[in-house]
Chains A and B, each alone.
Chain A
Amino acid sequence: MAHVTLPRIGTAEAWREAARGFLTAGTPPDQITWGDNTAPAGLFDAPCPAPPAGAVTVPRSFVQMANTVVWHNDPERFARLYTFLWRLRDAPQLMSDRGDTDLAHLRRMEKNVRRCQHKMKAFVRFREIGGPEDTRRSFAAWFEPTHHTIEPTAQFFARRFTDMDWRILTPDISVFFENGHLRFEEDHPRPELPADASEALWVTYFRNIFNPARLKVRAMQSEMPKKYWKNMPEAAAIPDLIASAPARAREMALAAPTLPPLRTAAVQAQQAALQSVWEGPAEALPRAIHACTRCPLHRTATQAVPGEGPMDADLMIVGEQPGDQEDLQGRPFVGPAGQLFDKVAAMAGLDRQAAFVTNAVKHFKFQPRGRKRLHQRPDKSEIQHCRWWLQAEVAQVRPALIVAMGATAAEALTGSGKDLMRRRGQLEQGPEGIPVLITLHPAYLLRMPDAQKRADAMSVFEADLKLAAQITQSAG
């Protein structure tokens, strides 16, 4: 009877070497007893001399399996492997016979070890042990694996946590990774690890990612068996989570629907403004504008006034909103301000018929005063609601230049209607990257009482339109 004692560190190579020796020498399995250095040798066991070196051919798939099975905690593992190896000498095809009892048993052991390795990769929990002034951070974990999985799994941690020092201590073999080097030690006592602040955060996360409405305790335990719980900080929260889950689920079901918070309306209005793409067919856009009820203006105005002009225009003119006349006729730029614009445009050499004209706001906002309707500036929310239509028109026409007349148009196109006099006559970035030329609104000129000032403003307006004509010509 030969007795082989295999070391607890480096077991895989030691077993392979011994098995190779016995196989070369032709020693049958019943003549060998195997043990690691924890198991006492048998009464009739003779210590084994160093096995003779020799080369044997073994299927690669067996070597892979053996390299895993040697880490199983079954004391029979070495003998089982050798017995199967002995059978394999004459029948190498046995490796692919999954119905064979011996192989099925070894494969099951292999699966157990792999699962244990996998659970180790998953359930080791490090705590920080280093100080803030250390150059390399260091971490330690206490873990209790079912099989001897430390050695075959250490490389995984070495590949993953390279830029820090770490150690995984177990009742069996412990592994240390310091300055890039792996080292194994036997029988390390269980250390007291310092508290780690991140652990509380992790437990918070665990408690909150759990959905009490779908309690599946069995599914959890089959994947995370209780034997691992004592070394996992989050596991302490499990009993409470399970106990309170039915009540929490019932509470959710019974709770009466609440009123939406106050900000909801504001946020939804803002959101409406963010949408800007008209997805319907181009010819349906004017009709959709006519049917608009996005803001309260549609209740008082006669009709919405969509833009007008060639769909391939290089120039787009944007005014503020329809006036009294426009509201009645349903066409843009037909009232007094529109007529003034036509006159100045003609002087500036700008071809009015070739431009697409529209307004920033499509409904007329006014204050009834006796028999008259007094124009009112649209407010921010109305501009925002209507910008959806304006952007749809811009996206359809895709002009080379947009002229924004007045503060409302400037706000709708660039986001700001402030400081108009300083910004006029210059180009800014508009929707879809199209340049916007900012200028005055003709209605502003009409309302100026001082004749001299009006003449000055008029020439400024004319100069801006001239610039627009030039840019459009060079673009067209």
Chain B
Amino acid sequence: MQPRFKGKPRCGRMYIARRAMRTYTEHMAGYTLEEKLAILSDAAKYDASCASSGSTKRDSRGGKSLGSNEGSGICHAYAPDGRCISLLKILMTNFCIYDCSYCINRVSSNVKRARFSVEEVVKLTIEFYRRNYIEGLFLSSGIIRSPDDTMLDMVRIARKLRHEENFRGYIHLKTIPDASPELIEEAGLLADRLSINVELPTDASVKQHAPEKSPEQIRRAMADVRLRKEVARDRSHTGKRPARFAPAGQSTQMIIGADQATDSTVLGQSTRLYSSYKLKRVYYSAFSPIPDASAKLPLISPPLQREHRLYQADWLLRFYGFDLEEITGHRENGNLDLEIDPKLSWALAHRGLFPMDVNSAPREMLLRIPGFGTKTVGRILSTRRHRRLRYEDLARMGALMKKARPFITAEGWTPRALTDSADLRARFAPPPEQLSLF
């Protein structure tokens, strides 16, 4: 006998959740679009990412569509916090059933709550884009009802932008770890980038500060995105290429300074993330004061300098051939030196290797000289094929000579005793300062 299904199939847990939601939304007064925008962009600013680079190249020639993406990102404005504004970064809603103590939108916070409709988000994105304010949309959301419902609404927005408005700009969707595979699949085909935040550097602190989130679940979700990306790369037997899945890759964010994790732990976590899930970026976000903070997590002044040093170390790991052990190994407490950059710190701890001759050192070693970036090194190598380099050449090639000077020899330059001088660190570190009273 065939099973008979009565009525439309529905999932019990969602049904009840939706009823609870009805009383929940009654709190929401009738906000205007402008008021909603204020609330929901204020709620979104703690996500550091605003990248719009690295996706497929495309444009709207043909006249039927709107928008383009040319590989490199564009920052359309900068806020006085020094952060780039490239995308319309908003929450679909800041209602949330989770209670993460570091988050402005946690259920136990008294911030104003609002919710955009699908049409409102689409309209804002398109109108802002046409006026050249933005490169596209970065859509995130509080968790309402069930993870599937939330993800479905986000996918509907992306679908409408792509299929009805023929929008060819950039879309970044924050995915919900527990959402169903079909929704993640569709999200990946519509968006340029997907991201899931690991939130904090260790599983223990996630459990402590974000009790409803599961670090295992977040990792499974990132693994899933990686696998889908890889499957979408394989051609079928006819040689046809399938639609690309999240062409600008996936990224994540870690909050720095909310727990006791050292820089060595933080960077260890990011190296694992880069290698396991092929992330494009790990963002470090200095734990920042939020309105109506939780009593569980006292506010601190955001550790901006630490955040900056972590980014520098992250770059050394990815583009300069450094190992994690080299960056933090010589630091006793496992934290980076806040006063000088991590490459300089490494060089000062390994002075035996210096001074290095810029006319003969191999690429790997040139990359380790403080004050030399990857571009400078490329220029040194191409010029070295024709002639020997002088000290003045290096400045023209973009090297920071104030930093590099003690560590190199070139035609017309040798640092003599400078490399081994006892006060070398003091030449770079900022002068001692009286502690601020606030």
A interface residues with partner B (beta carbon < 8 Å): 93, 96-99, 101, 104, 118, 121-128, 137, 139, 141, 156, 158-164, 180, 196, 198-202, 204-220, 223-224, 232, 234, 238, 241-242, 245, 249-250, 252-253, 255, 257-258, 260-261, 263-264, 266-268, 270-271, 273-276, 279, 380, 384, 387, 411-416, 423, 426-431, 435, 467, 470-471, 474
Contact = CB atoms under 8 A, between A and B. Distances in A.
B97 A162 contact: no
Contacts of B130: 126, 128, 137, 139, 161, 164
B34 A204 contact: yes
Contacts of A217: 80, 82
A214 B82 contact: yes
Contacts of B74: 118, 121-122
A275 B166 CA distance: 37
A371 B392 CA distance: 100
A118 B60 CA distance: 19
Given A99-B397, A159-B68, A210-B79, A415 B10 contact: yes
24 contacts: A99-B394, A118-B74, A122-B77, A123-B76, A123-B77, A128-B131, A204-B38, A209-B42, A210-B45, A210-B81, A213-B301, A224-B78, A238-B80, A253-B299, A253-B301, A255-B293, A263-B27, A263-B107, A271-B107, A273-B13, A423-B6, A427-B6, A428-B9, A430-B12
A261 B108 contact: yes
Contact of B15 (A99, A161, A416): A416
Given A139-B131, A260-B108, A273-B16, A163 B66 contact: yes
B41 A209 contact: yes
Contacts of A264: 99, 107-108
A257 B12 contact: no
B418 interface: no
Given A211-B288, A224-B78, A97 B16 contact: no
B424 to A, nearest CB: 27
B396 A98 contact: yes
Contacts of A234: 77
A415 B5 contact: no
B37 A204 contact: yes
Dominant secondary structure of chain A at its interface with chain B: helix
B60 A159 contact: yes
Kindly list the 5 A-B residue pairs having the minimum CB-CB distance in the complex, ordered from nearest.
A219-B82, A99-B393, A415-B12, A216-B82, A260-B108
Nearest to B85: A209
Contacts of A428: 5-7, 9
B127 interface: yes
A470 B291 CA distance: 61
Interface stretch (B190-198, B378-386, B425-433): B378-386
Nearest to B111: A261
Given A180-B63, A202-B133, A208-B41, 7 more contacts: A124-B132, A163-B166, A211-B46, A258-B292, A387-B12, A427-B4, A431-B13
Contacts of B77: 122-123, 206, 224, 232, 234
A267 B212 CA distance: 12
Nearest to A423: B6
A126 B61 contact: no
A128 B126 CA distance: 13
Contacts of B392: 99
B386 to A, nearest CB: 5
B277 to A, nearest CB: 21
Nearest to A199: B131
A214 B302 CA distance: 7
Nearest to A108: B396
B206 interface: no
Interface string B357-390: 0000000000000000000000110110111011
Contacts of A384: 16
Contact of B24 (A118, A202, A263): A263
B20 A266 contact: yes
Interface of B is mostly: loop
A249 B82 CA distance: 16
A206 B13 contact: no
B204 interface: no
Contacts of A198: 127-128, 131
A156 B135 CA distance: 13
A412 B12 contact: yes
Given A98-B396, A210-B81, A270 B97 contact: yes
Nearest to B307: A214
A414 B10 CA distance: 7
B383 A387 contact: no
A384 B20 CA distance: 12
B227 interface: no
A97 B33 contact: no
Interface in B195-241: 212, 214, 216
A145 to B, nearest CB: 14
Contacts of B1: 467, 470-471, 474
Which of A99, A208, A212 has the most chain B CB atoms closer than 10 A to its own CB? A99
B435 interface: no
Contact of A271 (B12, B212, B295): B212
A428 B15 CA distance: 14
Contacts of B302: 213-214
Contacts of B67: 160
B81 A214 contact: yes
Contacts of B46: 211
B330 to A, nearest CB: 29
A462 B261 CA distance: 62
Contacts of B294: 257
A101 B80 contact: no
A384 to B, nearest CB: 6
A209 B44 contact: yes
Contacts of A121: 74
Contacts of B17: 270, 273-274
Contacts of B393: 98-99
B288 A213 contact: yes
Nearest to B42: A208
Nearest to A212: B81
Contact of B68 (A160, A210, A252): A160
Nearest to A242: B80
B286 interface: yes
Given A162-B60, A206-B85, A267-B24, A431 B12 contact: yes
B30 interface: no
A268 B211 CA distance: 11
A465 to B, nearest CB: 15
A407 B6 CA distance: 17
B81 A98 contact: no
Contact of A205 (B37, B63, B82, B290): B37
A292 B39 CA distance: 39
Interface string B45-79: 11000000000000111111111101000111111
Nearest to A383: B16
Nearest to A416: B15
Contacts of A122: 74-77
Contacts of B98: 271
A1 to B, nearest CB: 32
Contacts of B128: 198, 201-202, 205
B124 interface: yes
B84 interface: yes
B81 A202 contact: no
Contact of B124 (A201, A209, A470): A201
Given A257-B295, A428-B7, A276 B65 contact: no
B79 A206 contact: yes
A304 B172 CA distance: 46
Contacts of B387: 97, 99
Nearest to A202: B133
Contacts of B166: 163
A234 B80 CA distance: 11
B89 A127 contact: no
A196 B132 CA distance: 13
Contacts of B301: 213, 249, 253
B7 A415 contact: no
